[in-house]
Amino acid sequence: MLNRRLLRIKVMQSLYAYHQAAGADLGLAQDRIAEAFEPDLNAEVAPDRRQLEGQRKLGEARFREWHRTHEAPEKTDDKAVDEALNDAIRYYQDQVKKDAKFFGGQLLAGAESIHDQYLHLLNLPASLLQVLEEDNDREARRRLGPRENALDTSRLAGSTAIAKLMANEQLQSLTIRRKLQWLGTEELEALRRAWRDEMSGHPTVLAYLKGQPLAAATLATADAETDSPAETDADGGDEAATDEAPASTLAASGEEAEYEADLEFLRFLYKEFVFRGVELPRQLESDDLNWEENRPIVRNLVLKTLKMLPYAATDQQELMNLSANWADDREFAETLYQQTLADDAKAEALIAGSVQNWDVERVALLDKIILKMALCEMQLFRGIPVKVTINEYIEISKVYSTPKSKQFVNGVLDKLAQDLAASGEIRKSGRGLLDNQ
């Protein structure tokens, strides 16, 4: 399920996008000053180019000074310069306000899209059956009958596990309402290639289609999964997508035994070809640039859902939620984003004061964002220990920033945490927490 580290990453990405957009807004605001003093070539009297150039430089210099200090500029003796400066300031403030709101919305949309991706993938088995049926029909028409050596996929087509999954009423409702079917030409073609190049020749797939028992060792191999930075969360518990090794024996006989075999094979298809293969991961990544960091969460949701579909499960079986408490997680992400922006100047000053012999302007933007988020979290969220916060942002910096960022972030946060705790600006409370720890 969704964890706090992934939320921190989403916030970091939104803040980075905001700062990039704000930089572009700054350039556009300066362009407005330059445009205000462009010579009018259609004027009856030739413009004084030297005067216009002087006004432009004065306006741009005063705008840069305002941006550095954020103090209201004093009026000059030149009304035109004052008007151009005030217009640029208003434009910049309006744009950054819009950008802050936009990227805040993108942050939540990015997190909530993980649940849609999960539901989308639950529809994959039905689409695979559709692709196989279409290909078999096309091949039969072309050859006026089936090939002698054609692969018999009737066991997969009759999978009771796939039938139960697709009969789930909640899945059907959400799929229709959010348009999460596999309908795109590119994704269906990727599914077709995955079957042709990866699945159809795999020994476990062939054994299943022939009705043979599935080897436990082979199924267990598909459980091997490398952790990503979004899979564990120190303040939210370990949420890695870990699966129990499949049982080496299934029920002795009957419909339930057949269902359990179908369900175990379905889990194998997801593990081996959706979350580890070539064609489907490539397609999923092309559809979602954040797929690699979202993948462990989606994997966890999908595989846990299949665990929740035993033989006795009904069509009303409830699907997995995005998190145990999305309202709290949503509030955490929104607050962290908004407050980090609100405290930007304060955090910038703290960082500048802690970086000895180094101009804060030369600190990598991503490192500054990580530091500002950590400072906000340490001061705002009393229930999260300082050590947890520092460790979380160190881990994020390892993956998303420069090779030396780990040591830099660790050193700056450790010093600032001690200073802020001593001044009383960091106070922790709650079960298992001592103030200022």
Instruction: For 80-134, write each residue's pLDDT tens digit.
Output: 999 999 999 999 999 999 999 999 999 989 899 999 999 999 999 999 999 999 8
Identity (one letter) of the amino acid at 409? V
Of the two residues 148 and 165, the one the predictor is more confident about is 165
Instruction: For 286-314, write each residue's pLDDT tens digit.
Output: 999 889 889 999 999 999 999 999 999 99
Instruction: For 374-410, write each residue's pLDDT tens digit.
Output: 999 999 999 999 999 999 999 999 999 988 899 999 9
- If we measure between CA atoms, which residue out of 326, 334, 354, 346 comes closest to residue 414? 354
Q: What is the DSSP letter of 244?
A: P
What is the token pair recorded at 326?
């999305």
Indicate the pLDDT class of residue 70, thresholds 50, 70 and 90. Answer: confident
| pLDDT in the model for residue 234 | 52
Instruction: For 210-263, write each residue's pLDDT tens digit.
Output: 998 877 656 666 666 555 555 555 554 444 444 544 443 444 458 899 999 999
| pLDDT in the model for residue 420 | 94
Q: For residues 393 and 370, is the Cβ–Cβ distance under 8 A?
A: yes
Q: How many CB atoms lie within 10 A of CB 215?
A: 14
CATH topology of domain 343-422: N-utilizing Substance Protein B Homolog; Chain A (1.10.940)
| pLDDT in the model for residue 113 | 92
How many whole angstroms separate alpha carbon 265 and alpha carbon 408?
Answer: 47
Domain definitions of the chain by residue range: 4-106, 123-311, 343-422
The proportion of the chain whose per-residue pLDDT surpasses 70, expressed as a percent, equals 86
- Strands 237-238 and 232-233 turn out to be antiparallel
Least confident segment among 19-23, 131-135, 186-190: 131-135
User: Would you give the end-to-end CA distance of the chain in angstroms?
Assistant: 28
Indicate the pLDDT class of residue 141, thresholds 50, 70 and 90. Answer: confident
Instruction: For 317-331, write each residue's pLDDT tens digit.
Output: 999 998 889 999 999
Mean pLDDT of the 139-164 span:
81
Kindly tell me if the per-residue pLDDT of 191 is higher than 90: yes
